[in-house]
Amino acid sequence: MRVVQFLIPDQGRRVGIVQDQMVIDLTSGNSELTRIYDIFQAAQKKQTSLNQLLTELSAASNAIERSYEDLLQAIPGGSHPWLLPPIDHPDPHCLFVTGTGLTHTGSMQSRDQMHAQETEQAETHQTDSAKMFAMGVAGGKPSLGERGVSPEWFYKGNGTTLCGHRDSLEIPDFALDGGEEPELAGCYIIDDNGIPRRLGFVLGNEWSDHETENINYLYLAPSKLRTCSIGPELNTDFDFSDLTIRCSVQREGQTIYESGDLKTGEQFMCHSLGNCEDHHFKYPQHRQTGDVHLHFLGTSKLSHGTRNWKYQTGDEIKIEAPGFSSPLINTVRKNESPDQTPIEVRPA
């Protein structure tokens, strides 16, 4: 199933299933189901699977069909229906955006190049990034029933940081740059028994500030506190074994970056999906009933280490994975009038 969420001005939110060039509007058949979150909860009450309920809803005789191409082309906030992130939560503070890095060979090479200059002995001693990657190679795919080595983990924010297809990715006034990270993210809801339930996977742009991170690897945490994007579809059937992703950047109609083929999935990672999920959900605070988790699973290549330009307002980033989802497209919005005035905290 390829699920989308969209908004019709003056009519509200909708959930739909992509079939060929059309979207079956599930909400038109049941007005109470306006999010994939609602459909998951309904499936739990019926004691059936998410895919089974989606199939039943898509067969409803009163469901309206809409043009998918029109939704893909619509700009958020306009007069035409537009796509939303394919997973969210009624309360954005109950959605956690997190991720894991150094899971792909290329990611280690990119990070190692950024941080090798931090030590005069880099030529003879491994950086911390290289050591972390080696730990994953040695113990990131444990046997069934065993706990493997922990991957790198980071926090990006809550649902307020989440953008959808054709939304703008922000470069805030305190940032040094923007940086694309084309990858897949797993989507999860915690059920009534505190068990994480995987809904499926989405294309994502785990937008970060690699120039800030490059100052010192201890700045990785704040460099991740940026907006990010997912979509346009939630793929509920992908087995996370083998997928080819491509990323390109256009400026004023000219291509300024092409990633080439980027391989992802367990075949191209030093950590298994189960190991990444275990080390995220082992924390009790990540297993609170009703919460949604969006967990980025790593990329194999960044443009930062090879380009001589910085992102500007209007740059368009496209991430595509044929056969998995329609492309995810976002533009960049940079604060052109930085305000370096410190935030004042006042007494209560």
The answer to whether residue 117 scores a pLDDT higher than 80 is no
The answer to whether residue 114 scores a pLDDT higher than 80 is no
Query: Average pLDDT for residues 250-274, to the nearest whole number?
Result: 96
Give the Cα separation of 94 and 158 in Å (integer). 7
Q: What is the pLDDT of residues 119-174, one digit of tens each?
A: 554 455 678 878 887 888 888 899 999 999 999 999 999 999 999 999 999 999 99
Q: Which residue has the tokens 């980027």?
A: 262
Residue 251: the pLDDT is 98
Share of the chain above pLDDT 70, in %: 94
| 292 confidence band (pLDDT: 50, 70, 90) | very high
Give the Cα separation of 259 and 38 in Å (integer). 37
**Cβ–Cβ under 8 Å, residues 71 and 82:** yes
Residue 336: the pLDDT is 81
Q: Please state the φ and ψ torsions of residue 315, each to the nearest 5 degrees.
A: -60, 140
Q: What is the pLDDT of residues 176-219, one digit of tens each?
A: 999 999 999 999 999 999 999 999 999 999 999 999 999 998 99
The answer to whether residue 107 scores a pLDDT higher than 80 is no
Residue 108: the pLDDT is 53
Q: What is the pLDDT of residues 52-77, one digit of tens each?
A: 999 999 998 788 999 999 999 999 99
Bridge-based pairing state of the strands 292-296 and 95-99: parallel
Give the Cα separation of 39 and 47 in Å (integer). 12
Query: Average pLDDT for residues 293-311, to the nearest whole number?
Result: 95
Residue 104: the pLDDT is 84
Element spanning 299, H or E: none
Residue 62: the pLDDT is 86
Give the Cα separation of 84 and 81 in Å (integer). 10
Q: What is the pLDDT of residues 319-344, one digit of tens each?
A: 999 999 999 999 999 988 777 889 99
Residue 109: the pLDDT is 58
Bridge-based pairing state of the strands 168-171 and 325-334: parallel
The answer to whether residue 99 scores a pLDDT higher than 90 is yes
Find the radius of gyration of the CA atoms of the chain. Answer: 20
How many helices (H) does the chain have, and how many strands (E)?
8, 18
Residue 85: the pLDDT is 98
Q: If DSSP codes are grouped into helix, strand and coil, which group holds residue 39?
A: helix
**Model's pTM, two decimal places?**
0.93
